[in-house]
Amino acid sequence: MNNTDKYLALRAQYPVFEYEAYHHEVCGEGLRVWFDFRIGDVEFHPTALVERRPFLDFDKEIDWIVFNIGMVELVSYWKCACPPTVRVLCGVLTDEQISFWKKLYWNGLGEFYFTNGISESQEAFMEVESGKWKVEIPADAACVAPLSNSYLVPVGGGKDSVVTLELLRRAGKKIRPLIMNPRGATVECAAKAGFAMDEVLVIRRTIDKTLLDLNAKGYLNGHTPFSAMLAFYTMLASALSGVPNVALSNENSANESTVAGSYVNHQYSKSLEFEDDFRAYCPRFNYFSFLRPLSELQIAMLFSRFSQYHDVFRSCNVGSKQDIWCGHCAKCLFAYIILSPFIEPSRLNQIFGKSMLDDVTLEHEFRQLVGEAETKPFECVGTVSEVRQALAMAIDRWYKAGRRPALLENLDNLEILDNLDNLEILDNLGNLTLDERQILQQACIEKTN
C-alpha cells in the first residue's frame, strides 16, 4: 500500500506532536497514570491502571518512570500523522536519551513504513525537542538487590511465558506474574502455574478512542513496538512491587529481520539489541529475557512437557479477543509447526481445532515461514531455519511412511541439522546469572518422552 502522498500531506497539516504532560494518582482501584498529547487541535489522553494489591507500594517515587512510559506511549499516537517534530514539554532529554528514543521509534516503526509503502530516512523522519526540566533517575526510584531470588514474569498467554514460569517455579524461585489487559489465556496460564488473580500484578492499559476514530477516518496506521511499551510498564511494576528481576520470555529468533537483508523486524523491541539499549537507558533495573539463549525449537520442546497448559495457551493475535486459535493466520500455523516434532498429530489437532498442515488455504503463509517468499509473516514467529528444521523433525517422526499432510506433500530437501538435545545454549546472549543459565541448560538436556 503506497501511502506516501497521505504521509506527506499529514506531516504538512500536523507539523508538531506535543507531549504536554504526564500524571499519576492513587485512587480506590489502584494507581492511575495518564498522558496529555496533542497534534494541532486534536488531543489524546491515554490511560493505564495498576490494580491495587497488598504487595504494591504506591508511595514510591515514580515520576521518572511515568514520564518515560509517556515517551513510549506517544509513538502509537504520533504514527497517525507522523509530525516531523516531537516537542516534549514536560521534561528535558539529554542528547543520549534523544538518540535512544529516535533509534527505538525508527526501528520499532520499520514495519509501519514498509507496509505503508513509505520511503523515509532515519535522519528526516522525526526531530525530538525537549524543554522545562532535566530528567534524572532518582536514587529511590529503582529496585535494589538485583541478584535477589524474586522474579517479575510478564504472562502473555503463549508458550514462551509458560516455559519461563515453569522453569523458574520448579527451580524454587519466588515469582510475581504480571498481566497486562487480562484475557482468558493469560488468566488460565497464571492459574495453571498456581497463582490466583489477587497474587498477580495487573495493569489495564486503554487506548484513547480519538486515535481509533482517526484510524477509521483513514489516518495512517500500522505496527508499533508493543514490547518496548511493555518494558517501561514492567519497570513501573518492578518499582511498585519491590521485585528486582524482570524476566521476559523473548527468544533468540527475535533478532532475525522480518524482511531479509533489511532492518525491518516485526520483533525489534523483543530483540537483544533493544534489550541492551533498554538496560543502558535504565541501568538500575534488572530487565532481561530469560529465554534469550534458547531457540524456538528448544522452547517448544520444553513447552511440550507441560501438558496442563496445552488446552489453555493461546498465541493467535486474530483470535485474541475471543480467546481462540483462529486457525487461519501465520501465527497459528507457526505455533502448530514448531510444536509438531514434540506433540503427536492427533493431540495437536485437538489443541488447534484442525490439522493446520492440511489447510491448503494457508499455502502463502506456509511459503513465508519456510523462506520461499519475499518476507516472513509480520508476526512473532521463529526463524526460517527453525521452521524448516521443525518440519524435517516432524516428517522424520510422524510421516516417514504413508500420506503426508497437504502442505508437506511437495516439501523436499529439508535436513535435520542436529539432534535437539545437543543444540548448544548460546553463552554470550542475555543477562542471565550463572544460576539462571544452569536452570535452562538442565531443562534442555533432559530427555523428552
Closest to 44 (Cα-Cα) out of 12, 81, 11, 5: 81
Cell 528486582 found at: 244
pLDDT in tens, 88-127: 999 889 999 999 999 999 999 999 999 999 999 999 999 9
Nearest to residue 258, comparing CAs of 78, 439, 110? Answer: 110
This prediction's pTM: 0.92
Q: Please tell me the predicted confidence (pLDDT) of residue 137.
A: 47
Q: Contact at 8 Å (CB) between 190 and 152?
A: no
pLDDT < 50 stretches in the chain: 137, 139-146, 416-428, 448-449
Give the pLDDT confidence of 10-49 residue by residue, as tens digits: 999 999 999 999 999 999 999 999 999 999 999 999 999 9
The pLDDT value given to residue 151: 95
pLDDT of residue 424: 47
- Residue ranges of domains in the chain: 4-289, 315-417
Q: Which helix (H) or strand (E) holds 202?
A: strand 201-206
Handedness of CA 7, 10, 16, 19 (dihedral sign): negative
> CB-based contacts of 219: which residues, under 8 Å, 6+ apart?
10, 80, 81
Whole-number pLDDT of residue 441: 81
Beta pairing class for 201-206 and 174-180 = parallel
What cell does 317 get? 493475535
Which residues make Cβ contacts (< 8 Å) with residue 131, sequence separation at least 6? 87, 88, 89, 90, 91, 92
Cα(295)–Cα(425) distance, rounded to whole angstroms? Answer: 9
DSSP designation for 73:
H
For 308, the grid coordinates are 496442563
Question: So what's the pLDDT on residue 136?
Answer: 54
β-strand partners of 272: none
CA distance 59 to 382: 41
